A and B are shown apart, each in its own frame.
Chain A
Amino acid sequence: MIEIKGLSKVYDMGKSTVVRALREIDLFVGAGEFIGIMGPSGSGKSTLMNIIGCLDRPSGGTYSLDDHLVSTLDDDELAAIRNRKIGFVFQTFNLLPRLNALQNVELPLIYRGLPPHKRRAMALEALARVGLSDRVHHRPTELSGGQQQRVAIARAISGSPAIILADEPTGNLDSRSGEEVMQVFQDLNDGGITVVVVTHDENIGRHSKRLIRLWDGTIKADELVSNRALAAGILEAMPPVVLITPVTPVPPASQSMSGSQSMSESQSMSGSQSMSGGLMS
């Protein structure tokens, strides 16, 4: 699926200043994996994400996606790869405000040149998979944050991509909506879609099957998540009605990699079996 060898990215900032965002990274991701990429800001996770997403080209090394060597393609060829192989999910949803949910989901299919009836059918199916069949004609402003993100996920999966790339997908959501979004990802992954989630949130990271930690442009750790968080179970344990609850910011320092649950938010989720257990064990 993803084969990265000796990948590096250097930004020339001028005046002989260069920033080495990625240094000689090797990474292999197989089909059906659920990868979490974590790391502090400046660790290179956005750069890695952009390169995997074919939005950017590496300065060195090779990158193959689905047996296509994409590190040497030009802009339009990359656009075609993005259109067919990659589904993006962004922190800020990035839906087009003037279009309704259906039209937003159809967007990649338009650029694929599919006829209207076909892309409509595909878009409706994608919306059904994220549970939004009843919100098809709503505009983004008429949807909640969680619903907007699910529309964005529907857009990402509408063209049956090889891989879904999510960049901080829960960053702008309350905990319940975030959990719902993660559940959609886990369901999709169970259905065989490869998912890569970039996050700085340990809680979200633990929803993945395999966690990659970046530090200073290199991979510091790459291990399987032994005690995976399952969104379905967490949601079940949540209070059924979410009142206007302040989302407590989670200081990264408090998110120790120990087995104990120290986050304030997860206190309310106590009792969920899936939340216990260490990541690093």
Chain B
Amino acid sequence: MSFLEGIRVALSTLVTNKLRSALTMLGVIIGVSTIISLLSIGQSAQAQIESALTSMGSNFIGIQTTGKWSLLPEDCEMLLERVPSISSAMPVVEYTVTVKTKDAMRHVFFYGGPAEMMAVMQYTPGEGRFFDTSDVEMRRDVVVLGRTTRKELFGDRPAVGETISVMGQPLTVIGVASPKGNMIGFDLDDCLFLPYTTAQKILGTRYVTEIAAQAKSTELAPVAKEHLKRVFEEKFRNVERERDSRMGVQLEPFMVVSQDEMLNVINQVMGIFTVLLSGIAAVSLLVGGIGIMNIMLVSVTERTREIGIRKAVGARRKDIMAQFLIESAILSLVGGVIGTLSGGGMAKLVGLVGKFNVDVSAGAIVTALLFSTGVGLFFGMYPASRAAKLDPIVALRHE
């Protein structure tokens, strides 16, 4: 019997038992749907975080203190002098604050930095202007709003020239940044930007929370990182190390994190995530496979007489084997296709709700379809071989 003939026979059998076929497929559909949706969401989230990170500009190395604030803006000049592999170093103050206007209030993230910070973070002016070097030097009470913050505080009314209050300090809005959108649900436009000097004034500190250095090239980035580390080790040599009470380890008083490392951490987290999801998907596919095996065994028993007839008229073992294997393969393949469609739809829906772009990759689809068909063939093997081994005389007598 030809392969095509086998497919025809299998299809007609499956169509005859529509409800049963559908229920059998359900297990595979759920399994494949889980794989596709979770894989797509995971991959898209990862891609988005990566692109967001690299869009911050490349070769960044962040220096943060872990305990008390102890980084000074003046450190930047010192670093530029002592570390030749970096091209720039920015003092940055990051903080979460409450912002008030006459009739609105909002908790937002703020970035205090030098004049070039916004360009480095790849924001462009939407309304008004960004703060400049003189604003920084003069510690002017000016602020630039993210698009979302502007909307929340002022609605459709003009914002530039208005005054907002940050921790009791009135600041004049001089500009609004063009929207950058979402990063996996995190709104990049719900924030404030202001000169770091002004931020220090508001927070009443002479320190900054972070220094953002940039290596001269990708090749130099590891060198720069190592160099920066040395410089800070020397600088903090006399600082008493804080002890983490829970872990019982001494913490370095500072952290040097490069963009590469952040990407690596994200990739690691995503890797663990993927392994977990694959486990879930594997279990559901396994359950689906057992469902197929169960139904195929029932089907073999039910069709014992048919098998006997086919054998009597000349079907060989492999013909019967093929007939049942093709049937279970079709069950799982069709289940796989439906699962792919529904999983893809689900992923898109999650992207729509979470406001980020989700792509269903061809690799995920191919993997899911191969796996589901493989499951069908694997779990169809035993019932099919049982059918193939039936004694025609016994099978013909079967009621």
Instruction: List chain A positions with a Cβ less than 8 A from chain B.
Output: 50, 53, 55-56, 75-76, 79-80, 82-84, 88, 90, 94-96, 98, 107-108, 110-113, 155
Please state if A79 and B316 are interface contacts (CB–CB under 8 Å).
Answer: yes
What distance in Å separates the Cβ of A56 from its nearest Cβ neighbour in chain B? 6
Q: In the complex, what residue of chain B is closest to A47 when comparing beta carbons?
A: B393
C-alpha gap A110/B313 in the complex (Å): 10
B311: interface (CB < 8 Å) = yes
Q: Which of B12, B314, B396 is close to A111, meaning CB atoms less than 8 Å apart?
A: B314
B310-330 contacts to A, CB under 8 A, are: 310-319
Q: Which of A90, A98, A155 is close to B396, meaning CB atoms less than 8 Å apart?
A: A90
Please state if A111 and B306 are interface contacts (CB–CB under 8 Å).
Answer: no
Interface size on B, residues (CB 8 A): 23
Please state if A110 and B316 are interface contacts (CB–CB under 8 Å).
Answer: no
A-B contact pairs, 14 of them (CB 8 A): A75-B316, A82-B314, A83-B314, A90-B396, A94-B305, A94-B312, A96-B309, A107-B309, A107-B310, A107-B313, A110-B5, A111-B314, A111-B315, A112-B314
Please state if A111 and B393 are interface contacts (CB–CB under 8 Å).
Answer: no
C-alpha gap A82/B316 in the complex (Å): 10
What distance in Å separates the Cβ of A272 from its nearest Cβ neighbour in chain B? 35
Q: Which of B13, B315, B396 is close to A94, meaning CB atoms less than 8 Å apart?
A: B396
C-alpha gap A155/B309 in the complex (Å): 11
B262: interface (CB < 8 Å) = no
Please state if B316 and A111 are interface contacts (CB–CB under 8 Å).
Answer: yes
B42: interface (CB < 8 Å) = no
Which residues in A have their C-beta under 8 angstroms from that of B308?
A: 94
What distance in Å separates the Cβ of A231 from its nearest Cβ neighbour in chain B? 25
C-alpha gap A95/B314 in the complex (Å): 14
Q: Which of A50, A79, A90, A94 is close to B314, meaning CB atoms less than 8 Å apart?
A: A79
C-alpha gap A95/B310 in the complex (Å): 10
Please state if B315 and A79 are interface contacts (CB–CB under 8 Å).
Answer: yes
Please state if B313 and A88 are interface contacts (CB–CB under 8 Å).
Answer: yes
C-alpha gap A275/B208 in the complex (Å): 120
Which residues in B have their C-beta under 8 angstroms from that of A53?
A: 312
Please state if A111 and B16 are interface contacts (CB–CB under 8 Å).
Answer: no
Which residues in A have their C-beta under 8 angstroms from that of B316?
A: 75-76, 79-80, 111
Total contacts A-B at CB 8 Å: 59
- Interface majority SS (helix, strand, loop, mixed), chain A: helix
What distance in Å separates the Cβ of B318 from its nearest Cβ neighbour in chain A? 8
Which residues in B have their C-beta under 8 angstroms from that of A90?
A: 396
Q: Which of A50, A79, A95, A96 is close to B311, meaning CB atoms less than 8 Å apart?
A: A79
Which residues in A have their C-beta under 8 angstroms from that of B13?
A: 98
B374: interface (CB < 8 Å) = no
Q: In the complex, what residue of chain B is closest to A93 when comparing beta carbons?
A: B309
Q: Taking A75-B317, A98-B13 as contacts, is the C-beta distance between A56 and B312 under 8 angstroms?
A: no
C-alpha gap A107/B396 in the complex (Å): 16
Please state if A155 and B313 are interface contacts (CB–CB under 8 Å).
Answer: yes
Which residues in B have their C-beta under 8 angstroms from that of A107?
A: 309-310, 313
Please state if A82 and B1 are interface contacts (CB–CB under 8 Å).
Answer: no
Which residues in A have their C-beta under 8 angstroms from that of B310?
A: 107, 111
Which residues in B have their C-beta under 8 angstroms from that of A155?
A: 313
C-alpha gap A189/B315 in the complex (Å): 26
Please state if B392 and A55 are interface contacts (CB–CB under 8 Å).
Answer: yes
B134: interface (CB < 8 Å) = no
What distance in Å separates the Cβ of A152 from its nearest Cβ neighbour in chain B? 10
Q: Taking A55-B392, A98-B12 as contacts, is the C-beta distance between A110 and B309 under 8 angstroms?
A: no
What distance in Å separates the Cβ of A31 from its nearest Cβ neighbour in chain B? 21
Q: Which of B305, B306, B314, B393 is close to A56, meaning CB atoms less than 8 Å apart?
A: B393
- 20 further A-B contacts with Cβ under 8 Å, apart from A79-B317, A83-B313, are A55-B311, A55-B392, A75-B317, A76-B316, A76-B317, A79-B311, A80-B314, A82-B312, A82-B314, A90-B396, A94-B309, A94-B312, A96-B306, A96-B309, A98-B13, A107-B310, A111-B1, A111-B310, A111-B315, A112-B314
C-alpha gap A161/B316 in the complex (Å): 17
Which residues in A have their C-beta under 8 angstroms from that of B313?
A: 82-83, 88, 107-108, 111, 155
Which residues in A have their C-beta under 8 angstroms from that of B315?
A: 79, 111
B238: interface (CB < 8 Å) = no
Q: In the complex, what residue of chain A is closest to B305 when comparing beta carbons?
A: A94
Please state if B312 and A88 are interface contacts (CB–CB under 8 Å).
Answer: yes
What distance in Å separates the Cβ of B67 from its nearest Cβ neighbour in chain A? 78
Which residues in B have their C-beta under 8 angstroms from that of A110?
A: 1, 5
Which residues in B have their C-beta under 8 angstroms from that of A55?
A: 311-312, 392-393, 396
Q: Taking A82-B312, A94-B312, A98-B12 as contacts, is the C-beta distance between A113 and B2 under 8 angstroms?
A: yes
